[in-house]
Amino acid sequence: MRAASETDTLFRTQTFLGAPFACLDVPGAAHVIGARPMGAPFRYVITSNASHLVRLNDRKDARFAAALADAGLNVLDGAVPHLLAERLFGLDIPLCPGSDLTAELFEHVIQPDDPVTVIGGSEEMRRRLMAGYGLRTLNLHVPPMGFIDDPAAVEAAIQFVIEHPARYVFLVAGAPRSEYLAHMIFQRGAAVGTGLCVGSALNFLTGLVQRASPAFRRLGLEWLYRLAQSPSTHFERVFVDSLPIFLIAAKAKLDPAAYGMRPGGGGGS
């Protein structure tokens, strides 16, 4: 997604905990995404948060690592990894939450005539997006639970994206399922548009799920709000999937080269 043929703006990257991050804030990332024309070959955006970095480094998830390596754009989502990158390693990687990026795209970039495809979500989400943003074409495919381990269900999702050409393809089937699927669509080589792996962003945008207040978000406590709202759902996500990032960051501080980072700073270009 950095090719000059797709956008006039090239951007710096910084390596943090083994992942290459685009040094783009929300408006910057939205500009890069919006600069891609309709019909451009399918590329995808990952919004990596603490659980993504734990999956990459602690769980050694080869499928996720491959998806991350082929991503057209990877931005930093999450107050905790942002704070660690800045305070522990002196890295200047702007925060670009997937929910904020999605809102920016719908409010300032996506036009009513732009075809949109959504993988995941619900019919009510589709109805609210079309009504709220005047979209004329929004195609929805809702895979069954556990679809990522069902080759037929995966193939159905891939074919849906191919057969419904869109400028923007929102993959909201949960992490890391959305990232796995985006990578498989990319590998197929027949789809167009920009895929966006943005978690619960469309639920927040449409009001189907209440997001934390701006005050919570400014303090980096959105995770605490979501944990309080839905402890059974978010306990594992916070304490099992995300908390190990502190140990990973400590190890990287002691041996930065092992995580693709230079002593006293991170890898960059």
Whether 145 and 177 have beta carbons less than 8 Å apart is answered as no
Determine the pLDDT at residue 21. Answer: 98
pLDDT of residue 229: 66
Instruction: Establish if 205 belongs to a structural domain.
Output: yes
- Residue 218: domain span: 13-254
Q: Is the pLDDT of residue 207 over 70?
A: yes
Q: Is residue 234 a part of any domain in this protein? A: yes
Distance between CA 269 and CA 246 in Å, rounded? 25
How many domains does the chain contain in total?
1
Let me know if residue 7 belongs to a domain. Answer: no
Q: If pLDDT is split at 50, 70 and 90, which confidence band does 4 have?
A: very low
The reported pLDDT for the residue numbered 254 is 95
CA distance 35 to 253: 37
DSSP 21: E
pTM above 0.85, yes or no: yes
DSSP string, 51-95: HHHHHHHTS--HHHHHHHHH-SEEEE--HHHHHHHHHHH-----B
Domain membership of residue 8 (yes or no) is: no
Give the pLDDT of residue 242: 85
Whether omega for the bond prior to residue 37 falls within 30 degrees of 0, making it cis, is no
Which phi and psi angles does 157 have, rounded to 5°?
A: -65, -45
Tell me, yes or no, whether 3 lies in a domain.
no
Percent of the chain exceeding pLDDT 90 equals 77
pLDDT tens column, 36-73: 999 999 999 999 999 999 999 998 999 999 999 999 99
Q: How confident is the model at residue 8 (pLDDT cuts 50, 70, 90)?
A: very low
Burial class (CB in 10 A: 0-12, 13-18, 19+), 65: middle
User: Which tens digits make up the pLDDT trace of 213-265?
Assistant: 565 566 565 655 565 566 666 555 655 678 899 999 999 999 999 999 977 65
What is the rounded average pLDDT of the residues 148-161?
98
For 127-149, the pLDDT digits (tens) are 999 999 999 999 999 999 999 99
- Sheet with 168-172: list strands edge to edge: 73-76, 43-48, 194-197, 168-172, 116-120, 138-141
Query: pLDDT-derived band of residue 10, with 50, 70 and 90 as boundaries?
Result: confident
Handedness of CA 268, 57, 169, 162 (dihedral sign): positive
pLDDT at 7 over 50: no
User: Residue 90 is encoded by which pair of tokens?
Assistant: 């002196």
Tally the C-alpha atoms within 13 A of residue 106's C-alpha that lie toward its C-beta.
23
Q: Which residue has the higher pLDDT, 204 or 214?
A: 204
**Which residues are registered as beta bridge partners of 140?**
118
The amino acid present at 171, given as its one-letter code, is L
**Residue 259 covered by a domain:** no
Cα torsion through 104, 105, 108, 113, rounded to 10: -160
Within a domain: 94: yes
